[in-house]
Amino acid sequence: MQLEATTVDIGTTRPLVLLNTVDAAELGAHPIDRVRIQHAGETTTGIVKRTDELVPPGTVGVTEPLHHVRGTVDVTLAGAPHSVRYVRKKLDDIELEADELEAIVRDIHESRLSDVELSAYVSAVYANGLSLEETKHLTEAMTDVGEQLQWETPVVADKHSIGGVAGNCVTPIIVSIVAAAGLTMPKTSSRAVTSPAGTADVVEVFCDVEFTIAEIESIVEETNGCLVWGGGVDLSPVDDEIIRAENPLSIDPPGQLIASVLSKKRSAGSTHVVIDIPYGEGVKVESLVAARELADDVKRVGDHLEVDVTCAITHGTDPIGRGVGPVLEARDVLEVLEGDGPESLRLKSVRLAEMLLTHCGVDASATEILESGRALERFRRIVAAQGGEPDIESTDLEPGAESTTVRAERTGIATRIDNRQLCELARRAGAPLDSRAGLVIHRTVTDAVESGDRLYTIYAETPTKLAEAERLADRLEPVRVRSKADALVERR
Amino acid sequence: MQLEATTVDIGTTRPLVLLNTVDAAELGAHPIDRVRIQHAGETTTGIVKRTDELVPPGTVGVTEPLHHVRGTVDVTLAGAPHSVRYVRKKLDDIELEADELEAIVRDIHESRLSDVELSAYVSAVYANGLSLEETKHLTEAMTDVGEQLQWETPVVADKHSIGGVAGNCVTPIIVSIVAAAGLTMPKTSSRAVTSPAGTADVVEVFCDVEFTIAEIESIVEETNGCLVWGGGVDLSPVDDEIIRAENPLSIDPPGQLIASVLSKKRSAGSTHVVIDIPYGEGVKVESLVAARELADDVKRVGDHLEVDVTCAITHGTDPIGRGVGPVLEARDVLEVLEGDGPESLRLKSVRLAEMLLTHCGVDASATEILESGRALERFRRIVAAQGGEPDIESTDLEPGAESTTVRAERTGIATRIDNRQLCELARRAGAPLDSRAGLVIHRTVTDAVESGDRLYTIYAETPTKLAEAERLADRLEPVRVRSKADALVERR
């Protein structure tokens, strides 16, 4: 069918083709069908949307990725990409070959799968699992479609944490220690997706985090390390697309998880990696047994891909550090580097750094590097290389001016600190966009608490946001205090 | 967050909420997240789409189902509907309870699930299957969200065919026979989705097919039967939504299939149903074993729902009748009713009608009703009641003026007639929109064929469409002729 092409913006970055209902019926094209558009000797494919109003009959509307399509074009019905057959094959619980996984990854990368097809892929992998072979092939395919960093040193250290734990900002401390010990550690991190602060958001309090590959290489050459946002470089880009389908379903199939993590690490050129697997109630990995299984599988896939992996299984239910939110977590980080700071953050950072040093065959003490101030000095060099103010001190980092402190209503022991509720509160207060918004937690689990003691303080940049967070705090109980006498919590 | 509501048309009937990227980030709302919109004491929920251009900051755009939302509204982040948990539960291969299936069906019905979630539901049901209990509950839930027809007669006959077979237009003949025998048979049918003609498209050649429930009741009261389009009444409406996710994946899980069919029949008030299960290569049900299993399962679920089901397993690979396309199939139907017509269509219609009569406990001969002209007379009464011209004769039904006949290139036996290719050709020629477009097949399987004999004729309403169909015909071979000497098909 000959149609005139016109560009439309319907707020999507997917390659959609809008047909008037009349033309769509004539073509026999239903929503989510695909059409082939031929113009000037080129052929493009897009997913059909039908509309009565947006485009008149005789016209085909194309969204942004297809904006190069112009003039009179020939539109014909196209089949689904081959990879949809492989998705169906996985739904049938048949093991996929390397080239079939490659086809799926390529089609996801080029936005050729509809949401329905992408979700079926994720669902199939979740319901039927991936074999070790499949996971290896998937990792390779995911690595291949993105950019790859290359380093001249034989050992490149890296660290990854699976699943979000609030205020778990160990990365800047570990990178500073490991880089100070003379190892190369080009660390990419993410921004907050559903949490109040990703590592990249915290680092951004100190300096820039968005760099090109060439800039990253020069920062690492100068300082041995970097603390950059992974989204600024195109390492294993398919991961984000897959997460788009996993998140609404709250699923994260282990095989897919391993492929996502290891393809990122491989793309970053890492050779020796410590993977932190926090486990516990309400965390991605719920039991110690599951954490161990995941650790074994990650190591097996790593072996095949020549990435030397070791895993740290940690507690995932309690917060690490006192602050939640970009500036408040940044303050914790800097305090630890200055030789003080929350014990939980210092201990976890040192333990993981030590593991990574040993794993890389380096005979150095993480504790000594931290206590001697060499880690702080290295952190300042990285901050300077990334365009920040190197002489910043933790006392310069001030939270939002608006605050409320929530106090204990009874005497007892702090028995549970609920990470999810803390994150929700910090977000409501404005984090991560308002970088100075968030929480400070004054108690850790097992602390004795007197009625009237401070439990946590909410910080916000504006009174409105603070009020919103306070309203939410009234309905939540992120820090639970119990005493033996609490047989009855309240009577009403 | 307080925003001004504005209506937008982005060519969708789904309840979408467009937020400017700035507001979305502030709210922490990602694409496919949901937001709650409060206005004038009412609360509505929609799925988030982020846009830089379509709506400015401070404004929220709502699509058609939310067009009642106006003025200043309060927008907050909302969780996914509960039923997403049950989808996840099914992905985990845990049996769902009645209320959980009800929640899923209700949320699908109210467009509360995103494509990702809907596809995960279909994928989960496909990968992990539905138990008999689950299928029963699902059928009940699907029935309950739609309208329901009610009849005073204790026996209401019905018929359903699973999976499309080209030119398989037995329904008008069966309804005419059964209604003539004195039974109530209020038949709803579908229009073509991917085929060149649905039963409703064929009946529309004779008369209207779109009626309200009250009109259907009066047509049935007058004639015992009706031949209407199911889409005009809201019987088990969730089926269409589910098919939207099944089609792109080419999956149709048996449990879901049974629930879809039986919920339609239950909604129509049917008590005695014959279900035609065509099987074979390239058909929905591929083997005799699978057809038998499906038949047993359908009957078991029917028993529980007090729908008396009997199944006819038939051959699904060969076309039934000579014509493909609305007018050409209508001509076959009328010829059979007039006492002539293609043998395959007459035989299959009579056999199924006989099964249905026996199943309803009626002692009457379908052959006798057809041969005596009583079926034709009843058909004319239904056509008249549905606003058509009752005196129409088969010779009045003329195909499109443009035609080409494809002839045999060798002498031998017609060994295979490929339904899919015939359907594709008929659609290319313009069916079903051009009602007089389509094909006539001159040979059936096992016929002896001389080189130069007519195999099939393509009809179109315009020379352009005919040329397009001819181009496609050059690449296909819908009627295959073989002889023993054909060791080598061709040398090139």
Angle between helices A98-109 and A238-249 (to 10 degrees): 90
| A402-482 matches A2-78 in CATH topology | no
For A336, other C-beta atoms within 10 Å of its C-beta total 29
User: Vertex B124, ends B120 and B128: CA angle to 5°?
Assistant: 170
Please indicate whether, in this complex, the C-beta atoms of A250 and B88 are within 8 angstroms of each other.
yes
What is the arrangement of strands in the sheet containing B412-417, beginning at the earlier edge strand? B448-449, B412-417, B479-482
pLDDT, average across residues A55-81: 86
Strand (E) positions, B190-329?
Answer: 225-229, 272-279, 308-315, 323-324
Residue B146 Cα distances to A66, A273, B105, B136, B184, angstroms: 40, 56, 11, 16, 22
The total of other beta-carbon atoms located within 10 Å of residue A308's CB is 17
Per-residue confidence (pLDDT) for residue B236, from 0 to 100: 86
pLDDT 10s digits, B48-92: 888 888 889 999 988 888 878 888 999 988 878 889 999 999 999
pLDDT of residue A485: 59
Of the candidates A11, A120, A244, which has its C-beta nearest B249's C-beta? A120
**What SS3 class is residue B317?**
coil
A481 touching B (Cβ < 8 Å): no
Which residues numbered 241-300 in A keep a CB inside 8 Å of some CB on B?
A: 244-245, 247-251
DSSP state of B461: S
Q: How many angstroms separate the CA atoms of B14 and B62, rounded?
A: 10
Nearest to B119 among A120, A127, A194 (CB): A120
Q: pLDDT at residue A164 above 70?
A: no
Task: Please give the pLDDT value at position B144.
Answer: 94
pLDDT of A49 higher than 70? yes
**Which residues of A, range 174-233, sit inside 8 Å of B by Cβ?**
193-194
The confidence score (pLDDT) of residue B52 equals 82
Percent of chain B with pLDDT over 90: 59
B490 to chain A, closest Cα gap in Å: 29
Higher pLDDT, B404 or A481: B404
**pLDDT band, very low/low/confident/very high, at B322 (cuts 50, 70, 90):** very high
Choosing among A1, A10, A16, A87, which should be mutated to test the B contact, i.e. which has the most B CBs within 10 A?
A: A10
Residue B10 pLDDT level (bands cut at 50, 70, 90): confident
Assign B106 to helix, strand or coil: helix
CB B335 within 8 A of CB B394: yes
pLDDT for residue B335:
97
pLDDT at B413: 85
In CATH, the number for domain A2-78 is 2.40.40.20
User: Each residue of B420-455: pLDDT tens digit?
Assistant: 889 889 999 999 989 999 999 999 888 889 999 999
Is the model's pLDDT at B300 over the cut of 80? yes
- Whether chain B has a CB inside 8 Å of the CB on A12: the answer is yes
* pLDDT tens-digit series, residues A119-133: 999 999 999 999 999
- Rounded CA-CA distance B197/B182 in Å is 29
For chain A, the average pLDDT equals 90
Q: Which of A52, A80, A123 sits opposite B123 (nearest CB)?
A: A123
Would you say A339 and A371 are in contact if contact means Cβ atoms under 8 Å apart?
A: yes
Region A146-151: mean pLDDT is 91
Check whether B176 has a pLDDT greater than 80.
yes
Q: How much is the average pLDDT of B35-51? A: 84
With CA atoms as reference, report the closest residue to B355 among B169, B161, B225.
B161
Q: Which residue has the higher pLDDT, A252 or A164?
A: A252
State how far residue A461 is from chain B, nearest Cα, in angstroms.
Answer: 13
> Once rounded to an integer, what is the mean pLDDT over residues B41-54?
83
Which of B10, B18, B127 is nearest residue A128 as measured by Cβ atoms?
Answer: B127
Percent of chain A with pLDDT over 90: 58
Q: Looking at the complex, does the CB of residue A31 fall below 8 Å from at least one CB of chain B?
A: yes
State whether residue A118 sits within 8 Å of chain B by CB.
Answer: yes
Cα distances (angstroms) measured from residue A435 to each of A2, A173, A402, B393: 53, 20, 13, 79
Q: Do B32 and A114 touch (CB under 8 A)?
A: no
- Choose between A483 and B115: higher pLDDT: B115
Q: How confident is the model at residue A201 (pLDDT cuts 50, 70, 90)?
A: very high
Q: Which residues of B fall within a CB distance of 8 Å from A122? A: 120
Chain B hits for A28, CB-CB cut-off 8 Å, are 194, 427
Predicted confidence (pLDDT) at residue B193 exceeds the cutoff of 60: yes
* Ranges of each domain in chain B: 2-78, 83-129, 157-385, 402-482
User: Which listed CATH number (3.10.20.90, 1.20.1250.20, 3.90.1170.30, 3.40.50.300) goes with B402-482?
Assistant: 3.90.1170.30
Output phi, psi for B413, to 5 deg. Answer: -120, 140
pLDDT tier for residue B27 given thresholds of 50, 70 and 90: confident
Instruction: State residue A127's pLDDT score.
Output: 95
Q: Please tell me which residue in A23, A107, A239, A252 is annotated as part of the active site.
A: A252
Considering CB atoms only, which of A117, A248, A251 is closest to B114? Answer: A248
Just list the catalytic residues of B: 252
Band of pLDDT at residue A486, cut at 50, 70 and 90: low
The answer to whether the CB of A116 falls within 8 A of the CB of B115 is yes
Shortest Cα distance from A303 to chain B (angstroms)? Answer: 29
CATH architecture of A157-385: 3-Layer(aba) Sandwich (3.40)
Q: What is the DSSP letter of B156?
A: B
Contact with chain B for residue A13, Cβ under 8 A:
no
pLDDT band at A484 (very low <50, low <70, confident <90, very high): low
Chain B residue with CA closest to A119: the answer is: B116
Q: What is the 3-state secondary structure (H, E, C) of chain A?
A: CEEEEEECCCCCCCCEEEEEHHHHHHHCCCCCCEEEEEECCEEEEEEEEEECCCCCCCEEEECHHHCCCCEEEEEEEECCCCHHHHHHHHHCCCCCCHHHHHHHHHHHHCCCCCHHHHHHHHHHHHHHCCCHHHHHHHHHHHHHCCCCCCCCCCCEEEEEECCCCCCCCCHHHHHHHHHHCCCEEEEEECCCCCCCCCHHHHHCCCCCCCCCHHHHHHHHHHHCEEEEEHHHCCCCCHHHHHHHHHHHHCCCCHHHHHHHHHHHHHHCCCCEEEEEEEECCCCCECCHHHHHHHHHHHHHHHHHCCCEEEEEEEECCCCCCCEECHHHHHHHHHHHHCCCCCHHHHHHHHHHHHHHHHHCCCCCCHHHHHHCCHHHHHHHHHHHHCCCCCCCCHHHCCCCCEEEEEECCCCEEEEEECHHHHHHHHHHCCCCCCCCCEEEECCCCCCEECCCCEEEEEEECCHHHHHHHHHHHHHCCCEEEECCCCCCCCCC
Residue B191 — very low, low, confident or very high, per pLDDT cuts 50/70/90?
confident
If one compares A241 and A168, the residue with the highest pLDDT of the two is A241
pLDDT at B486 exceeding the cut of 60: no
Task: State pLDDT tens for residues B111-144.
Answer: 888 889 999 999 999 999 999 999 999 999 999 9
How far apart are the CA of A51 and the nearest CA of chain B, in angstroms? 4
Are B207 and B180 in contact by the 8 Å Cβ rule? The answer is: no
Angle at B76 between CA B72 and CA B77, to 5 degrees: 150
Q: Spelled out in words, what is the top-level CATH class assigned to the domain A83-129?
A: mainly alpha
Predicted confidence (pLDDT) per residue in A322-372, tens digit:
999 999 999 999 999 999 999 989 999 999 999 999 999 999 999 999 999
- Span A162-168, mean pLDDT? 68
